[in-house]
């Protein structure tokens, strides 16, 4: 029972060994020692709570917040000792905040439970007792043989046993996992591939040994031992045999697989676990302010307690005739009395801490995040994609970015590759009308008008057609009976590839005469000028970022064993021993200078003895359960050597639209842009120049190709010296991956000094983890700048997660970057609107919201403190308990919330057209110590005016009523409270620049609501109230003309100073933002015309949009629909 409870609460994870042993169809050994392993069931649990742990777990999480925990302590103190205010004054707001948050989180978790139940209850077919049994997904166990039909998703992680094809292959798409829409081929081991019926599979006796679950989608290490009569056959299992939960079966009638990972141990579940929580600078500032106000609270409570005892040192004040002490009070401990009085004052002043601040901030962030998704300017019509918000906790951080780290391919470029040039056997070629033409030859020249291919050219093109992971649409034929072009080539096939480079190269080869026509079993079919050839695929040496190359070993039609390799020139050229190496290197550099992406292609012939040795080594490495990756890397390096260089390719990747303008705008906003790419040096520099990252007039400094610490350090010192000498001009720095590793190892400080003095930095030949290290380096530097990382591929995920703000581009390299990002946009150009408009607005709104909350609570509680000087520190409260409770919840909550959602202090198009305005809010300018101090002092000033203004009116026993009666204690407190509610609401109105009818409604409505509530509360005897001190008090107050005059006079006196200060500053020391406000004076602000947009003018949130149009009185439906039909994104 105890263990079950611990598991329900999540405190008892199961013990796991390094590997797991799975008996297929759960045929456990009958003899010998066998210890059964415990595996997770197949239930997917994305929910956070259960029925049993919701209350304790949710309360624990909520009371980890300083303000909530503080109010809980205050509430308990009020329950334990005699305090001046009712426990309800603290308990009710706390209960309200906790309940609202719990309901919100509970509802969200209920939706997750509902989705989980749909998934877990989905019907599946499992092989049991010699037949197919229909069951629910949650009932699948590890070891079960599962049948999946075409277009169904895999319910668990399966090792493929067989398919309807003889070779045991199947095609799947992993779009829901990594966004890649290409078809991926998975293959079963030969011994199980022949078992295509349920009866045969039921007789299978086999054991799988594999690694324990891990999140990496592309890594799987295991082996299967198949018992056939008296012998046991061992086969390696890798990623090509693993079918992942969430992937979908395509172009295959059905497959059978054995469940190896179930439920929350599947790779999909491990990948969708929540990321580490990022905290914004505003939230950190908020917590700092909270601590300062706690110190103010403690100071006021201690001072009041000390002054109370100082005052009571005189006997006449210690025990006046109207308040004699009891015998128990006279004999009680002075220390206990001091502590009790201190706690009582703590309770009296506790509302200086704004408990409702957290709830209001959460609501502002959650509701405000919808505006990003609704913005027409962030909608990409061609791909029908709108901006996406994955976390609303960082909205205001978009307005604080100081460094942008961007990937190049697919982020700055389109990731649409077009073959441009190639180098074969030291000769440069271009594609002209479907023919390879040597450089310098025209189409009409004899060499440019040939229909045959030279031997070197044909071998090069065959290498391109065989060394890849391209798939062909299964609905197409091989083109043998289709129409033929004049040069004898079949009509184009439709290729699918996870890499756009590979697709561009295979398509180019097919256009010039060598066509990849598909795979059949373990064979790859190629047509060379119409002549079909079949190559047997023996081994695939998969691509990895460390090797930077991929290879295939094939058997040619003549029986020759060949290795074809392609990869980065830095990984191919050093391993080549023959071919036109020097000429090819020159051509590769020329391609790179033109901004082309380059790959080198090489091959190697194996003797029978060499191939036998290679096969043995590969089998040993692939069947190893320990250190398989390291062993495979060693074998791959052994195989991929002594290569004969065939040539190189140059593929163009076009720049995205408005990239240059966006980078220039970021620079004007004071944001430094770093480009982090895996491309070679020359290619990266060329693209940086073309996109405006580097200017032609910029002095380019280089830190490349260093092999030792000493040379790297010397170069860094020389660069630092050059920057100091030429401080007038701008500098750009180029650094490669190897030099960066050296610089970060020993000379981090010097490297950072050089980088910070450069206007732009380009890092090339970067591995994914190096990108994250660079971001972390800047992020943790002494200045602690706010960083933003933007990328589109899986190799950018670590960088995106490391930065303060991560943005994914919805590109062609899958959706891993989008899934792991905080925000997602369709194009790089949208970054300017996201930062300069949305980021600017969010920051201004929440900065004002946070400081206004502290200001209005200072206004609220300081008169309470001042009142103690007039009541001998007897802890008499100035306000009624109901007013104490409702001040933050009802009377002053809505105006600031609406302000924080709709405020636009400058027209959005002005913000976007003048990026320099972004500098006005950088470095947390509006939430630093000076603005905080101003708001706090203003709060104290207003509180003094409230209190002493009211005191001057009625403090000298003046009669303010027509019948000669004088006001009492509660009337005085109510007057102060009335002035305070009106003043703090009017202060919010002064801060508002952009007025909608909603602002008018909540601003004036809050004041009207206060008056109506007070009239009803004090004008009726409520039977359920224990005491009713406020009966007829408010009515009596309003019946005095002097009181009305005092209210108006005090409110004007409070706000007059603030108005004068604003006018003087605007005229004498205006900021860039205030100047922009003057230039747009008189023009209407209509930025929310672009709130909801989808293709063809249709919206996915039509009802919400129409509601907001009516609410805000701004978005004309005809205008919005007309904007939707315009191709341009601009909305005026």
Closest residue by Cα to residue 1090 from 837, 890, 767, 919: 837
Which pair of tokens denotes residue 495? 């290729």
Compute CA distances 426 → 429, 464, 613, whole Å.
Answer: 10, 17, 33
Query: For helices 628-639 and 608-622, what crossing angle results, to 10°?
Result: 170
Are residues 911 and 840 in contact, defined by beta-carbon separation less than 8 angstroms? yes
With a CB cutoff of 8 Å and minimum separation 6, the contacts of 66 are 287, 290, 291
Helices (H), 868-918: 881-886, 894-902, 908-913
Alpha-carbon distance 813 to 499, whole Å? 7
How far, in Å, CA of 277 to CA of 64, rounded?
15
Are the C-beta atoms of 535 and 528 separated by less than 8 Å? Answer: no
- Residue 573 half-sphere exposure, CB side, CA atoms within 13 Å? 18
Instruction: For residue 391, give the nearest of 373, 369, 359 by alpha carbon.
Output: 369
The helix (run of H) or strand (run of E) holding residue 142 is: none
Both tokens of 594, joined, read: 């033109």
* 3-class secondary-structure state, position 938: helix
Cα(811)–Cα(23) distance, integer angstroms:
42
CB 975 within 8 A of CB 945: no
Helix %, strand %, coil % for the chain, to 5?
Answer: 50, 20, 30
In 10 A of CB 295, how many CB atoms?
10
**C-alpha closest to that of 77 among 341, 363, 464:** 341
- Structure letter (DSSP) for residue 959: B
d(CA 510, CA 503): 11
Report phi then psi at 767, rounded to 5.
Answer: -80, 155
- Return d(Cα 536, Cα 521) in angstroms, integer: 9
Would you say the C-alpha torsion 870, 876, 877, 878 has a positive or negative sign?
Answer: negative
Rounded to an integer, what distance in angstroms lies between the CA atom of residue 983 and that of residue 1126? 47
**Structure tokens of 770?**
């190096």
Q: Is residue 50 classed as helix, strand or coil in its secondary structure?
A: coil
653 counts as catalytic:
no
HSE value, Cβ hemisphere, 13 Å, CA-based, for 750:
19
C-alpha dist (Å) from residue 881 to 893, 971, 1017? 18, 14, 12
235/191 Cα distance (integer angstroms): 9
DSSP symbols for 1018-1069: HHS--TT-S--TTTTHHHHHHT-HHHHHHHHHHHHHHHHHHHHHHHHHHHHS
In angstroms, the Cα distances linking 152 to 122, 246, 249, 722, 917 are 11, 9, 6, 63, 52
List the catalytic residue out of 157, 407, 653, 792.
407
Distance CA 839, CA 1110 (A): 26
Token match 């040795």: residue?
A: 613
Which of 775, 841, 781, 777 lies closest to 805, judged by CA? Answer: 775
Cβ neighbour number for residue 534 with a 10 Å cutoff:
14
* Spatial contact of 157 and 261, defined as CB atoms under 8 Å apart: yes
Tokens linked to 1071: 């900021």
Beta sheet of 131-136, edge-to-edge order: 131-136, 123-128, 145-149, 254-261, 157-163, 242-243
Q: How far apart are CA 1067 and CA 1063, in angstroms?
A: 6
Q: Which residues are catalytic?
A: 407
């Amino acid at each position: 029972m105890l263990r079950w409870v611990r598991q329900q609460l999540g405190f008892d994870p199961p013990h796991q060994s390094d590997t797991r042993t799975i008996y297929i169809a759960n045929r456990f050994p009958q003899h010998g020692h066998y210890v059964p392993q415990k595996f997770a069931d197949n239930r997917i649990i994305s929910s956070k709570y259960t029925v049993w742990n919701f209350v304790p777990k949710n309360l624990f999480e909520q009371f980890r917040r300083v303000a909530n925990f503080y109010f809980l302590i205050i509430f308990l103190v009020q329950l334990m000792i005699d305090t001046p205010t009712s426990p309800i004054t603290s308990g009710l707001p706390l209960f309200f905040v906790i309940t609202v948050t719990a309901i919100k989180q509970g509802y969200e978790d209920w939706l997750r439970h509902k989705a989980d139940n749909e998934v877990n209850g989905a019907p599946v077919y499992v092989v049991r007792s010699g037949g197919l049994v229909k069951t629910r997904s949650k009932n699948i166990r590890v070891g079960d043989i599962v049948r999946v039909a075409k277009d169904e998703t895999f319910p668990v992680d399966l090792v493929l046993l067989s398919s309807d094809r003889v070779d045991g292959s199947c095609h799947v798409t992993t779009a829901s996992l990594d966004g890649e829409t290409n078809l991926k081929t998975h293959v079963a081991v030969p011994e199980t591939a022949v078992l295509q019926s349920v009866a045969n599979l039921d007789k299978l006796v086999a054991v799988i040994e594999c690694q324990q679950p891990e999140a990496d989608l592309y890594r799987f290490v295991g082996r299967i031992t198949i018992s056939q009569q008296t012998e046991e056959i061992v086969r390696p299992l890798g990623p090509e045999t693993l079918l992942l939960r969430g992937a979908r079966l395509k172009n295959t009638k059905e497959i059978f697989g054995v469940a190896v990972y179930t439920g929350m141990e599947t790779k999909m579940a491990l990948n969708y676990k929540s990321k580490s929580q990022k905290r914004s600078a505003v939230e950190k500032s908020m917590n700092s302010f909270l601590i300062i106000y706690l110190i103010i609270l403690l100071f006021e409570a201690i001072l009041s307690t000390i002054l109370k005892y100082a005052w009571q040192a005189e006997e006449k004040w210690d025990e006046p005739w109207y308040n004699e002490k009891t015998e128990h009070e006279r004999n009680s401990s002075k220390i206990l009395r001091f502590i009790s009085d201190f706690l009582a004052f703590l309770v009296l002043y506790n509302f200086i801490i704004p408990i409702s601040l957290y709830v209001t901030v959460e609501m502002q962030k959650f509701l405000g995040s919808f505006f990003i998704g609704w913005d027409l300017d962030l909608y990409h019509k061609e791909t029908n994609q709108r901006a996406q918000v994955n976390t609303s906790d960082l909205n205001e951080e978009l307005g604080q970015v100081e460094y942008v780290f961007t990937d190049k391919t697919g982020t700055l470029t389109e990731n649409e590759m077009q073959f441009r040039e190639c180098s074969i056997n030291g000769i440069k070629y271009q594609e002209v009308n479907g023919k390879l033409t040597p450089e310098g030859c025209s189409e009409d020249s004899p060499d440019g008008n040939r229909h045959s291919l030279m031997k070197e050219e044909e071998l090069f093109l065959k290498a391109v057609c065989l060394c890849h992971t391209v798939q062909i649409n299964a609905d197409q034929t091989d083109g043998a009976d289709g129409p033929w072009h004049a040069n004898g080539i079949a009509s184009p096939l439709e290729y699918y590839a996870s890499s756009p480079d590979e697709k561009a190269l295979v398509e180019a080869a097919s256009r010039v005469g060598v066509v990849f026509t598909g795979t059949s079993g373990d064979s790859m079919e190629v047509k060379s000028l119409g002549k079909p050839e079949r190559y047997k695929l023996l081994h695939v040496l998969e691509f990895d970022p460390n090797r930077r190359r991929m290879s295939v070993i094939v058997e040619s039609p003549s029986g020759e064993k060949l290795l074809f390799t392609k990869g980065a020139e830095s990984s191919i050229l050093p391993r080549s021993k023959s071919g036109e190496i020097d000429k090819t290197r020159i051509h590769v550099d020329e391609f790179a200078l033109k901004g082309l992406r380059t790959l080198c292609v090489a091959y190697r012939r194996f003797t029978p003895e060499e191939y036998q040795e290679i096969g043995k080594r590969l089998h040993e490495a692939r069947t190893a359960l320990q250190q398989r990756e390291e062993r495979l890397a060693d074998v791959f390096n052994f195989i991929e050597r002594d290569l004969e260089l065939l040539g190189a390719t140059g593929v163009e990747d076009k720049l995205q639209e408005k990239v240059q303008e966006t980078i220039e705008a970021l620079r004007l906003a004071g944001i430094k842009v770093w480009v982090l790419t895996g491309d070679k040096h020359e290619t990266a520099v060329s693209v940086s120049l073309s996109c405006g990252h580097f200017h032609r007039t910029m002095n380019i400094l280089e830190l490349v190709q260093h092999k030792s610490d000493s040379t790297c350090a010397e170069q860094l010192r020389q660069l630092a010296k050059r920057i100091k000498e030429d401080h007038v001009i701008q500098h750009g720095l180029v650094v490669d991956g190897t030099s960066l590793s050296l610089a970060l190892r020993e000379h981090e400080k010097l490297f950072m000094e050089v980088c910070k003095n450069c206007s732009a930095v380009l890092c090339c030949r970067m591995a994914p983890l190096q990108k994250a290290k660079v971001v972390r380096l800047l992020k943790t530097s002494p200045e602690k700048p706010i960083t933003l990382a933007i990328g589109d591929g899986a190799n950018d995920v670590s960088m995106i997660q490391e930065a303060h703000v991560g943005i994914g581009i919805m590109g062609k390299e899958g959706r891993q970057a989008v899934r792991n990002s905080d925000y997602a946009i369709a194009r790089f150009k949208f970054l300017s609107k996201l930062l300069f408009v949305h980021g600017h607005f969010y920051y201004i709104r929440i900065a004002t919201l946070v400081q206004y909350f502290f200001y209005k609570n200072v206004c609220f509680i300081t008169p309470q403190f001042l009142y103690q000087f007039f009541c001998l520190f007897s802890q008499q409260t100035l306000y009624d308990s109901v007013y104490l409770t409702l001040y933050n919840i009802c009377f002053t909550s809505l105006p600031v919330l609406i302000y924080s959602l709709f405020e636009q202090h400058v027209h959005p198009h002005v913000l976007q057209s003048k990026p320099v305005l972004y500098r006005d809010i950088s470095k947390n300018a509006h939430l630093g110590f000076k603005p905080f101090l101003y708001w706090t002092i203003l709060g104290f000033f207003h509180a003094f005016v409230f209190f002493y203004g009211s005191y001057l009116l009625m403090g000298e026993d003046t009669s303010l009523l027509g019948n000669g009666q004088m006001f009492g204690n509660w009337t005085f407190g109510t007057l102060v409270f009335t002035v305070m509610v009106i003043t703090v609401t009017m202060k919010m109105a002064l801060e508002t620049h952009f007025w909608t009818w909603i602002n008018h409604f909540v601003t004036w409505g809050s004041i009207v609501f206060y008056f109506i509530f007070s009239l009803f509360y004090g004008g009726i005897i409520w039977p359920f109230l224990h005491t009713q001190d406020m009966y007829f008090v408010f009515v009596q107050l309003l019946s005095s003309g002097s009181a009305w005059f005092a209210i108006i006079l005090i409110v004007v006196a409070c706000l007059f100073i603030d108005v004068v200060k604003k006018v003087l500053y605007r005229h004498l020391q205006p900021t860039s933002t205030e100047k922009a406000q003057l230039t747009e004076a008189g023009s209407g602000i209509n930025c929310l015309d672009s709130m909801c947009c989808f293709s063809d003018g249709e919206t996915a949130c039509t009802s919400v949009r129409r509601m907001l149009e009516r609410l805000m009185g701004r978005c004309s439906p005809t205008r919005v629909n007309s904007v939707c039909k315009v191709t341009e994104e601009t909305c005026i």
